[in-house]
């Protein structure tokens, strides 16, 4: 299986970008974000930065550049995933040393040797939107997604290349433990159970969802029909979902009975990547991206009725919708569009796109911070 991550041409991260009629430099005054009520964080992968959007004004208020000097070398990173801790105290970003350029249809070419440089996780303070620390992980680890426990003390990071899960002690900023999965299983997306005792991991190479019991680190697998890109857990804890890319289905697992099955996507589906459940556990939003692995590009988002286990709404978005998150109030869905370089904002009351904002090259992961309710898990 090819890596899901896209990589880019050197030099994009330092360029200013345009949103609407406003030109925003990658340099902003520190502390400029502390008075906002709610913000959306976007991993702008090809530019090696994190964009921050104020949900009220729907404007970009900060651009956080992750480039730095490592081992006496200037390093640019591809920012793959971003995650706000549930308690709202920190924002974590998976950052991989830039290693090549992107080919057609998401293929990878011209890989470069990383020269001993380490992939990292960066820590951002959401009150000031400044980097407060970083933790080197491993060489050529290809860090995919990250999640944080409710207390904000532990983070779990998937290494797609090494087939490992790193458990991070955020208090002391160190790797506390490593969980090894089968070689070639290629873990990508992951989510915690609602009680925080289990970790559900999407295995691209392993074609399964892995359930890790975090109390005894035992692993149980749910085999599926294809490569699983991301998982989702209903807030009521009753269901786990997985996006099965090449079969163009969404898998479901009943956590009470272990019964499992599939939700068929429309016949013209291109391939789903990320997915997210509404706070009331009634609906699941799944993006119809395509584009990866020589698939046609999609431009829609599916709303799935969980009780009926079927798609009940098809919503137009941008080109190659990738990441998706629903705010804690259940009013808006935010979607990153890889190829149209923007995000779509969808109102759940009408299931229509109500705004689209330019953010930068290859926007990928997305998460929400709220001053009162913390982060979206």
Write the DSSP string, 39-68. EEEEEEGGGTEEEEEETTTTEEEEEEE--E
Q: Is residue 328 domain-resident?
A: yes
The position carrying tokens 């640019």 is 76
Write the DSSP string, 275-298. EEE-TTSSEEEEEEEE-GGGPPEE
Q: What integer best gives the mean pLDDT of the chain?
A: 89
Q: Is residue 154 domain-resident?
A: yes
What is the C-alpha separation between 80 and 279, in angstroms, rounded?
A: 25
Band of the pLDDT at 71, cuts 50, 70, 90? confident
Q: Is residue 52 domain-resident?
A: yes
Starting at the earlier edge strand, list the strands of the sheet with 342-347: 321-326, 332-337, 342-347, 352-358
- Does residue 223 register a pLDDT over 60? yes
Report the domain count for the chain.
1
pLDDT at 116: 84
- DSSP element (H, E) containing 189: strand 187-192
Q: Is residue 270 domain-resident?
A: yes
Q: Is residue 216 domain-resident?
A: yes
pLDDT at 293: 87
- Does residue 2 register a pLDDT over 80? no
CB-based contacts of 72: which residues, under 8 Å, 6+ apart? none
For residue range 169-217, list pLDDT tens digits in order.
Answer: 999 999 999 999 999 999 999 999 999 999 999 999 999 999 999 999 9
User: Average of pLDDT values for 293-298?
Assistant: 94
Q: Is residue 266 domain-resident?
A: yes
- Does residue 291 register a pLDDT over 70? yes
Q: Token pair for residue 70?
A: 């490592």
DSSP three-state, residue 104: helix
- Does residue 9 register a pLDDT over 50? no
pLDDT at 10: 24
What CATH number does residue 338 fall under?
Answer: 2.130.10.10
Expressed as residue numbers, the domain containing 232 is 17-375
pTM: 0.89
pLDDT at 110: 38
For residue range 142-157, list pLDDT tens digits in order.
Answer: 999 999 999 999 999 9
Q: Is residue 8 domain-resident?
A: no
Cα distances from 366 to residues 45, 131, 212, 313, 376, in angstroms, run 11, 17, 24, 22, 10
Q: Is residue 7 domain-resident?
A: no
Q: Is the dihedral of CA 329, 233, 285, 370 positive or negative?
A: positive
Q: Token pair for residue 123?
A: 């820590």
What is the C-alpha separation between 193 and 377, in angstroms, rounded?
A: 10
């Amino acid at each position: 299986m090819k890596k899901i991550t896209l990589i880019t041409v050197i030099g994009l991260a330092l360029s200013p970008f345009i949103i609407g009629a406003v030109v925003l430099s990658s340099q902003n005054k520190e502390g400029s974000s502390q008075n906002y009520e709610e913000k959306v964080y976007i991993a702008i992968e090809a530019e090696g930065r994190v964009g921050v959007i104020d949900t009220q004004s729907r404007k970009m208020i900060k651009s956080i550049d992750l480039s730095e000097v490592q081992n006496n070398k200037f390093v640019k990173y591809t920012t793959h995933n971003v995650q706000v801790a549930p308690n709202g105290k920190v924002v974590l970003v998976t950052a991989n040393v830039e290693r090549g350029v992107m080919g057609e249809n998401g293929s990878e070419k011209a890989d470069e040797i990383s020269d001993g440089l380490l992939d990292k996780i960066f820590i951002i303070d959401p009150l000031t939107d400044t980097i407060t620390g970083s933790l080197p992980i491993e060489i050529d680890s290809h860090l995919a997604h990250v999640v944080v426990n409710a207390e904000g003390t532990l983070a779990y990071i998937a290494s797609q290349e090494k087939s490992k899960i790193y458990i991070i002690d955020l208090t002391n900023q160190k790797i506390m433990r490593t969980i090894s999965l089968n070689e070639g299983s290629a873990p990508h997306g992951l989510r915690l159970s609602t009680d925080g005792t289990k970790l559900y991991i999407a295995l691209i190479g392993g074609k399964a969802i892995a359930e890790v019991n975090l109390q005894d680190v035992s692993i149980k697998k749910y085999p599926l029909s294809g490569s699983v890109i991301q998982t989702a857990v209903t807030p009521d804890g009753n269901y786990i979902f997985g996006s099965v890319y090449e079969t163009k289905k969404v898998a479901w697992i009943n956590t009470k009975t272990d019964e499992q099955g599939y939700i068929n996507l429309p016949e013209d589906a291109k391939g789903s990547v990320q997915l997210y459940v509404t706070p009331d556990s009634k609906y699941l939003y799944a993006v119809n991206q395509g584009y990866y692995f020589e698939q046609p590009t999609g431009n829609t988002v599916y709303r799935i009725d969980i009780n009926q286990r079927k798609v009940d709404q098809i919503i137009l978005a941008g080109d190659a919708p990738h990441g998706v998150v629903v705010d804690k109030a259940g009013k808006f869905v935010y979607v990153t569009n890889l190829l149209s370089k923007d995000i779509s904002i969808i109102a759940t009351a009408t299931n229509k796109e109500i705004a689209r904002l330019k953010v930068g090259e290859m926007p990928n992961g997305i998460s929400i911070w709220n001053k009162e309710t913390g982060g979206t898990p």
